[in-house]
């Protein structure tokens, strides 16, 4: 995930510390974590692709493995969340926007990826109409890994209850 040359951000350390200590976050802590989510790169490590996704790549040449950012975007396009014309840069902009809107919520939890932060916002506050797909959902979720210092994924869902956020999730806002 992270390479020796990659420097961990202050937010990465904060996320891990807040999870282990269970202390209440300060406003500055929350601001630091949201700022990181608003600027973090998408994960680019290779992941397996499905046969269905390889067939839906619409011009992109996907093998058995492909960069995670591209796979996640194509999955969201195939689900009808984003429009087929959405680029990786636009997808990343939309995910960054979820951490910047005043109404966004922030939570932390851990799973097999390690310490995670998730920003949740109203989809229509983050994704321009021109990029909304035919089957959008009400909420936009952005999942950030403190271990890799990257956004692992972003997706839309109808509500908090239909997501698979960790059982130890802790809402900070």
- pLDDT digits 0-9 by tens, 117-165: 999 999 999 999 999 999 999 999 999 999 999 999 999 999 998 988 8
Record the pTM.
0.89
Beta-strand runs (E) in 15-148: 46-48, 65-67, 105-111, 114-122, 139-145
**Taking a C-beta distance cutoff of 8 angstroms, is the pair 76, 82 a contact?**
yes
SS3 (DSSP) at 168: coil
Place of tokens 């998730």: 118
Residue 66 pLDDT exceeds 80: yes
Query: Does 99 or 164 have the greater pLDDT score?
Result: 99
Q: HSE of 19 in the Cβ direction (CA atoms, 13 Å)?
A: 22
- pLDDT digits 0-9 by tens, 5-58: 457 899 999 999 999 999 999 999 999 999 999 999 999 998 888 756 655 545
Integer Cα distance of 119 and 79 in angstroms: 21
Q: Which two tokens stand for residue 11?
A: 């937010």
- pLDDT digits 0-9 by tens, 68-88: 999 999 999 999 999 999 999
Helices (H) and strands (E) counted in the chain, each on its own, are 6, 7
Pairing of strands 105-111, 65-67: unpaired
Place of tokens 């093998």: 63
Does the CA dihedral 62-65-70-73 come out positive or negative? positive
């Amino acid at each position: 995930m992270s390479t020796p040359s990659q420097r961990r951000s202050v937010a990465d350390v904060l996320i891990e510390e807040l999870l282990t200590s269970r202390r209440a976050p300060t406003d500055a802590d929350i601001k630091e974590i949201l700022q990181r989510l608003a600027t973090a790169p998408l994960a680019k490590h290779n992941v397996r692709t499905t046969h269905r996704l390889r067939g839906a790549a619409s011009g992109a040449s996907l093998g058995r493995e492909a960069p995670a950012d591209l796979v996640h975007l194509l999955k969201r396009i195939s689900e009808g969340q984003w429009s087929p014309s959405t680029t990786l840069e636009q997808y990343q902009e939309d995910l960054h926007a979820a951490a910047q809107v005043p109404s966004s919520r922030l939570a932390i939890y851990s799973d097999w990826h390690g310490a995670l932060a998730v920003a949740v916002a109203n989809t229509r506050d983050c994704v321009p109409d021109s990029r909304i797909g035919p089957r959008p959902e009400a909420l936009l979720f952005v999942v950030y890994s403190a271990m890799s210092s990257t956004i692992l994924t972003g997706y839309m869902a109808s509500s908090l209850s239909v997501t698979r956020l960790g059982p130890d999730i802790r809402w900070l806002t």
